[in-house]
Amino acid sequence: MGLDTSHRFADRRRALRAAVRRARRTARTLACSFHLALAQLFAAMNVASQESESRPAAETFTLSLERFVELAFRNSLRARTYRNSVASEQLGFQAGWRTSRQPRVNLTSSGDRSYTSTTQIGEGGTPDSTSNTYGTATSVDGTLASPLFWTGGSLSLSASQSRSLSNTAGTVSTSETTPRWGASYTQPLFIFTGDMGRRSWRRTLLGRQNSVESLRREQLSIWSEARSLYYQTLQQRRAMAVEEQSLKSSRQLLRATRELTRAGRYAPVELGRAELRYARDARRVKSAETELEKHYNRVRTFLQLPHGAQVVLTSKLQYAPFRWGLDDLASYALSNRQDYLSAQRSIETAQLAIKDLKESNRPALSLVSSYSNSRMLSNIGADSRSHAWTLQVLATWLLFDSGVTRLGVRKAYRDLDSTTIALENVRQQVRVEVENSFLNIKNLEAQLRDFEANRKLASKNLEAVRYRYRNGLDRLIDVFDAENEMRSLELEHLNLLVSYQTSVDQMALTINGHLAEVTR
């Protein structure tokens, strides 16, 4: 018995010594690992401090909603393209205007050097005489042509001067035309036909109006995109804050659950639930951080800000009741929608095409008058002076074209009818789009008004759960769940507010104008 006891004590002493040795080895290993980690930490901090000293601090941009939209119109690539389109449209219109009203001047000059050898053949086929002629000629011509928009005619002014010199067998002859002046005027007589120039200019004006409306639509689209990006970033930032608060609550819950489990008040399964909850919230925070950084990258790219710039959004979304009526919005949309106005102009363009086709086989009359004045100087004869004027009436008439014009007119009327149907279709679509957008706004308004009662109820529920927890009737996890529910409710309210503001901006796109321009 005593021997067995001594053996047991010896075994325990050996086991204790082995445990002490293992503990010492573990402590030395941990100490080495700690010192190594500490050294690496100091090295990393030193490198980071050197990099921060060498690298300039990131620029911070504090942006309100109005400032955000202003930078979007000034810096974004889409806005630059828009400005180029505006400038291109203006330059094209100016070129068309000058073509229809401003004169053009052409200048032509020429210089000739010639040699001619003439041999006369006598009787018997033998050369009789040979004559060599050397000649030089120069000329300069200038022409000014100008359309006369208000009369539909055209005016042409010309001036020319020429000089020639020839030398034949020692005989020199010269001739020179002093500036020769000429004028010509052509006036169509609009008896059976209309002014084609005015119709062409009207088509140019209609095309310009379509371009202006398209550019205005693009401007509104940039404005709406900038505001939508601002709203989405605010929304994601708030979602990030909610997830961080949830993670903080999960961390506190995990710490408290561990203490209560050690004290024997909670079962181990409660600790497992708390750990799973903490891991889930940590993943959500990481995902929210990634999404928020992606939104900031979109902001920096959209506004063309420097890479790595810090963006701080300062505006807060506020609910403002929607005061505009459906009829006022629909009326404004029909007066400003680009697609509806373009359909109206298409009808006018089709009517102009019908007029052109009808007049293509009618008599076309025009009056042409011209005047010229020239003087010829020569060294081998008398000088000469000439004046000339002409008056001419021209008439052209397509008498027979195998019915091509008649078929073209019938086709044009069919096209006009299709254009009228398309106009009615666009009008109905505009009305439906305005109504749907209006219904969406009113639905979100009703949800926002009813949401206040839900927020008050959630606040009372949170206070009740806290009271029950203090009295031992509820668990700590119930308190954290109530707090998370309250934060989720606040996030839901922000989501509703973002949806409401986005719908209001979408209404501006639907009516193709800012709501402040709508008369209530």
pTM of the model: 0.75
pLDDT tier at 47, thresholds 50, 70, 90: very low
Most confident listed range (13-27, 262-276, 294-308, 480-494): 294-308
| Residue 274: CB atoms within 10 Å | 25
Per-residue pLDDT tens over the stretch 299-331:
999 999 998 889 999 998 888 899 999 999 999
Instruction: Give the mean model confidence (pLDDT) for residues 194-209.
Output: 91
Element (H, E) at 370: strand 364-378
- Whether the predicted pLDDT of 392 surpasses 60: yes
Residue 203, token pair as written in the block: 């088509």
Residue with more model confidence, 39 or 375: 375
Distance (Å, rounded) from C-alpha 514 to C-alpha 429? Answer: 20
Assign 350 a pLDDT band (cuts: 50, 70, 90).
Answer: very high
Residue 137 or residue 184, greater confidence: 184
Please give the DSSP secondary-structure letter assigned to residue 147: E
Q: What is the pLDDT of residues 84-97, one digit of tens each?
A: 999 998 999 999 88
Please state which of the ranges 218-222, 248-252, 471-475 shows the lowest mean pLDDT. Answer: 471-475
Terminal Cα-to-Cα distance of the chain (whole angstroms): 108
What does the buried/exposed string (b/e) look like for 167-205 if buried means 16 or more CB atoms within 10 Å of the residue's CB?
eeeeeeeebbbeebebebbbbbbbeebbbbbebebebbe
Residues 31-57 have a mean pLDDT of 52
CA 113 vs CA 131, 137, 167: distances in Å: 17, 7, 12
Tell me which of 215-229, 241-255, 274-288 is least confident.
241-255
Task: Enter the tokens of residue 81.
Answer: 């393209």
User: Residue 517 and residue 287: Cα distance in Å, rounded?
Assistant: 42
Show the beta-strand stretches assigned E in 56-208.
60-63, 104-121, 127-148, 153-168, 171-189
The answer on pLDDT for 5 being more than 90 is no
At 179 the three-state DSSP class reads: strand
Q: Where are the domains of the chain?
A: 62-80+208-347+418-517, 108-189+365-396
Angstrom distance (rounded) from CA 66 to CA 70: 6
In sign, the C-alpha dihedral spanning 16, 22, 23, 24 is positive
Q: Are strands 60-63 and 310-313 parallel, antiparallel or unpaired?
A: parallel
> Would you call 482 exposed, middle or buried from its count of C-beta atoms within 10 A (0-12, 13-18, 19+)?
buried
Position 41 confidence tier, pLDDT thresholds 50, 70, 90: low
| Mean pLDDT of all residues in 399-415 | 92
Cβ atoms within 10 A of the Cβ of 15, count?
A: 10
Section 396-419 average pLDDT: 92
- pLDDT at res. 304: 92
9-23, 120-134, 249-263, 388-402: segment of lowest average pLDDT: 9-23
Q: How many angstroms separate the CA atoms of 185 and 183, rounded?
A: 7
For residue 286, CA distances in Å to 252, 283, 333, 356, 495 come to 19, 5, 45, 69, 20
Give the DSSP letter string of 375-419: EEEESSS--EEEEEEEEEEEEE-----TTHHHHHHHHHHHHHHHH
Q: Is 1.20.1600.10 the CATH classification of the domain at 62-80+208-347+418-517?
A: yes
- Residue 116's φ and ψ, nearest 5 degrees, are -130, 130
DSSP code string of 205-243? HHHHHHHHHHHHHHHHHHHHHHHHHHHHHHHHHHHHHHH
Q: Note the pLDDT of residue 56.
A: 52
pLDDT of residue 3: 42
- Give dist(CA 352, CA 199) in Å, integer: 7
* Average confidence score pLDDT of the chain: 83
* pLDDT number for residue 432: 96
Lowest mean pLDDT among 280-289, 344-353, 362-371, 383-392: 383-392
Model confidence at 455: pLDDT above 80: no
For residue 283, pLDDT over 90 is answered with yes
Residue range 460-488: average pLDDT?
A: 75
Q: Which residues contact 93 (CB under 8 A, 6 or more apart)?
A: 204, 208
Task: Extract the runs of DSSP E, i.e. beta strands, from 397-497.
Answer: none
Q: Which residue has the higher pLDDT, 340 or 461?
A: 340
pLDDT score of 222 = 94
Rounded average pLDDT over 38-42? 53
Given this model, what pLDDT does residue 134 score? 72
Confidence at residue 508, expressed as pLDDT on a 0 to 100 scale: 93
Residue with the two structure tokens 């060599």:
132
88, two tokens: 């291109």
- Ranked by mean pLDDT, the top range of 135-144, 306-315, 407-416, 510-519 is 407-416
Q: Are 303 and 227 in contact (CB under 8 A)?
A: no
User: Measuring CA to CA, how many Å separate 318 from each of 373, 457, 496?
Assistant: 81, 22, 11
Q: Is the pLDDT of residue 334 over 90?
A: yes
pLDDT > 90 in the chain, percent: 41
